[in-house]
Amino acid sequence: MSARSRAGIAGVAGAVLAFGLAELAHGLSGSIPSVFVSLAQQVIERTPGELVTRGIELLGTADIPVLVACMIVGALVVAAILGNLAVRSPALAIAGVIILAGIAVAAALAEPFVDAAPTVLIIVGALAIGAVITEMLLRTAGLRSSKPVEPAGGDGGTPGMPPTMDVRSREAYAEGGMSVGRRSFLMFGGSALVAGLVALGLGRFLSAGGAAAAAAPKRLKIPAEPKKGETGEGGGLKQAVEHQTLPKPDPEASLDVPGMPDVITPASSFYLIDAAFTSPRVDVNSWKLSIKGAVDNPVQFSYKDLMEMPTRESDITLSCVSNPVGGGLVSNGRWTGVLLSDVLAEAGVTRDKISRASRQLVGRSVDGWTSGFETKLALDGREALVAFGLNGSELPIKHGYPVRLVVPGIYGYVSATKWLSEIELTNWNFDAYWIQRTWSKEGPIKTQSRIDTVGDGENLSAGTVPIGGVAWVPHRSISKVEVSTDGGSSWNEARLASQLSEDTWRQYVYDWDAKPGDYTLQVRATDGEGQTQTAETAPPHPSGASGYHTIDVSVA
Ligand SMILES: Nc1nc2c(c(=O)[nH]1)N[C@H]1C(S)=C(S)[C@@H](COP(=O)(O)O)O[C@H]1N2
Ligand SMILES: [Mo]
């Protein structure tokens, strides 16, 4: 094994141990962020928006695994280089480790809810331990002497050979062979690697355990309405507030066809889109929602304050602008919350008061992510919600616990801020998170429909084949769905399920009498105003995909 590889291994072993210890600390304490995740988050945030968008288009949902793989390889290469640098120029190597510590600390402290002092201590401590282990490994490998020797004379020093090596090491380095401690080097290096990997695995396991425990949200409990005449906090009479709930979903809203998605998507399969690597853990007792900016009366709400306002349940379909035609980034939830218009009213915002200065409603998350849309959409009568419940339970952490926005009719990136901490009214000049990254400023959801019960390339048997799925254009409802079995030359009207609300998707099915042959199936939907979805194809970027979902099948 060459000296270079030994030095590289020493660096890698030290780095793995350092990373492992830091991950273990993260697993043991929720307020110490994962260094790796924080670094990945910074990479995402610092990559130019256009590149991120290209990456998403190119890699799809593989974008995160590819990024993680690149980062792991990159980290190992850096560690190997530092190991070699430590042989040639210890001062430079130490400087390198200090720079790494600085970057890691900065990335970690940028995460929300961080305990700064222990985080810094852990990162610096882990890196120091890693560096010490690397140094000890270099010594075991014979690449270091305890006392520096005279600089190599003309007696055959190898060009570029580190001047601080002792004679034995110089020989080893020059020969590229290992003359000393081969066995102890491998044992020691191997142990450090294994210890690092065990710590890493344990840390990951512990933090995943926390996430898994948090994955099952509690049933939502809204405090019972105060009885008429009960004394309120101010000593006055508390008004009885209404908590509207919805009846069980109409059975007619669900068509009994194999492969049909549930009309209300279970939280566990609700689609998920995050700019953040990990969901912020919000302490609901100290959480506050501020209404600020161009408002007459800036106010703050606690979680309890919201629960004591009139609440309601609403069925609203949420969709992501990145959803390709036929894709799965769309789900339907039964949300519980307070009307956004009621929250705004407390801040003195009403429809007739919208001005240039308050044209945009920006929702800001505890981690700084933002969305923004026309304030008037919150006040035009639609059931835009400050939501704290999904399908009868508290919001799952991944879906924005404790509170998020849900606005029917516009894509999530402009409206559906999770882990909401601030609503700011401002002018139209402010560009929210994805607008800064080249997505379009307004995000009305395009009318779409999807074939769910038959797959692309499927081989079917002749006979009746139910071609079914969902169609949606939240807030404009669906009035008609048509299916073509001849690539769009002719269209057949599908049978529609009832629609839970104008803000939800709607199931359809067309019972096709399939004869042997090859077919191109298509679907198209018409909204409540009689507008049929456009056949013109567009990719998701910058304003949402369009075109008819099209699949090929063979019937035998
Ligand atoms: N804080 C925060 N809120 C967010 C996002 C985010 O990355 N961070 N993603 C948005 C996007 S792009 C969409 S499509 C929806 C997705 O909501 P879901 O993950 O609950 O389905 O949330 C929106 N809210
Ligand atoms: Mo999205």
Alpha helices, H only, 361-481:
412-415, 433-436
Q: Which of 365, 360, 404, 355 is nearest to 378 (CA)?
A: 360
Query: Given pLDDT bands bounded at 50, 70 and 90, which one contains residue 276?
Result: confident
* Range name among 147-156, 235-244, 427-436, 494-503 with the lowest pLDDT average: 147-156
135/144 Cα distance (integer angstroms) = 8
Helix (H) or strand (E) holding 21: helix 3-28
How many of the other CB atoms lie within 10 Å of CB of 91?
9
Query: Which amino acid residue places its CA nearest to atom 21 of ligand 1?
Result: 272
364 lines ligand 1 (CB under 6 A): no
Q: What is the pLDDT of residue 157?
A: 37
| Four-residue CA torsion sign, 58, 62, 68, 70 | negative
Average pLDDT over residues 407-411: 98
Exposure letters 408-417 (e unless 16+ CB within 10 A, then b): bbbbbbbbbb
For the chain, what percent of residues have pLDDT higher than 70? 88
Least confident of 153-167, 365-379, 424-438: 153-167
Distance 275 CA to ligand 2 centre (A): 9
Of residues 338, 267, 328, the one with CA closest to residue 301:
338
Predicted confidence band of residue 45 (pLDDT cuts 50, 70, 90): confident
Q: What is the mean pLDDT of residues 247-273?
A: 96
Cα(442)–Cα(409) distance, integer angstroms: 11
Q: Determine whether the shortest distance from the Cβ of 373 to ligand 1 is under 6 A.
A: no
Q: Which residue in the block uniquely carries the two structure tokens 């390709």?
A: 324
In sign, the C-alpha dihedral spanning 428, 320, 271, 307 is positive
pLDDT in the model for residue 61: 63
Residue 45 CB–ligand 1 contact under 6 Å: no
What residue ranges do the domains of the chain occupy?
3-146+168-214, 448-555
For residue 418, how far is its CA from the centre of ligand 1 (angstroms)? 6
pLDDT at 95 (0 to 100): 93
Q: Does 273 contact ligand 1 (Cβ within 6 A)?
A: yes
Given this model, what pLDDT does residue 363 score? Answer: 98
274 lines ligand 1 (CB under 6 A): yes
Q: What are phi and psi of 386, to 5 degrees?
A: -95, 100
**CATH code for the structural domain at 448-555:** 2.60.40.650
* Cβ–Cβ < 8 Å for 460, 468: no
Site to probe by mutation for ligand 1, drawn from 272, 277, 418 as the one with most ligand atoms within 8 Å of Cβ, is 418
Phi first, then psi, for residue 501 (nearest 5°) are -160, 170
Residues sharing a CB contact under 8 Å with residue 187, sequence separation 6 or more, in sequence order: none
Residues with CB under 5 A from ligand 2 (ion): 273, 320, 412-413
Contact 27, 111 (CB under 8 A): no
Coil vs helix vs strand at 49: helix
Rounded distance from Cα 361 to ligand 1 centre (Å): 16
For the chain, state the CA radius of gyration: 30
Q: Answer whether residue 13 shows pLDDT above 60.
A: yes
How many Cβ atoms are within 10 Å of 21's Cβ, its own excluded?
Answer: 23
User: In this predicted model, what pLDDT tens digit does every residue of 162-209 receive, in sequence order?
Assistant: 445 444 555 555 544 445 578 888 899 999 999 999 999 998 888 876
pLDDT above 70 for 460: yes
Ligand 1 centre distance from Cα of residue 118 (Å) = 30
Average pLDDT over residues 348-361: 97
Residue 154 has pLDDT above 60, yes or no: no
CA of 103 to the centre of ligand 1 (A): 27
pLDDT of residue 169: 53
The mean pLDDT value for 208-213 works out to 63
Question: What is the mean pLDDT of the segment spanning 526-539?
Answer: 97
Count Cβ atoms below 10 Å from residue 347 Cβ, excluding itself.
21
Q: What is the pLDDT at residue 507?
A: 98
Q: Ligand 1 in contact with 399 (CB < 6 A)?
A: yes
* pLDDT tens-place string over residues 534-553: 999 999 999 999 999 999 99
Question: Which position has the higher pLDDT, 142 or 347?
Answer: 347
Query: pLDDT digits over 47-92, tens only?
Result: 887 787 777 667 766 777 788 888 889 999 999 999 999 999 999 9
Encode burial over 357-386: b for 16+ CB neighbours within 10 A, e otherwise: ebbbbbbbbbbebbbbbbbebbbeebbbbb
Find out whether the beta carbon of 309 lies less than 6 Å from any atom of ligand 1: no
Cα 362 to Cα 421: distance, rounded to the nearest angstrom: 11
Helix 63-88, helix 90-109: angle, nearest 10? 150
Burial zone of 99 (CB within 10 Å; 0-12 exposed, 13-18 middle, 19+ buried): exposed
Nearest Cα to Cα of residue 359 among 373, 348, 379, 369: 373
Q: What is the best residue among 413, 433, 435 to mutate for testing ligand 1's pocket, by most ligand atoms within 8 Å of CB? A: 413
Mean pLDDT of the chain: 88
Verify whether ligand 1 is closer than 6 Å to residue 188 (CB atom): no
Average pLDDT over residues 478-503: 97
| pLDDT at res. 145 | 62
Ligand 1 centre to CA of 416 (Å) is: 6
pTM for the model stands at 0.80
DSSP one-letter code for 439:
-
Percentage of the chain surpassing pLDDT 90?
70
71 lines ligand 1 (CB under 6 A): no
Cα 171 to Cα 441: distance, rounded to the nearest angstrom: 66
pLDDT at 141: 87
DSSP structural state of residue 296: S
**Residue 428 clears pLDDT 60, i.e. is over it:** yes
Copy the structure tokens of residue 369.
Answer: 């992510």
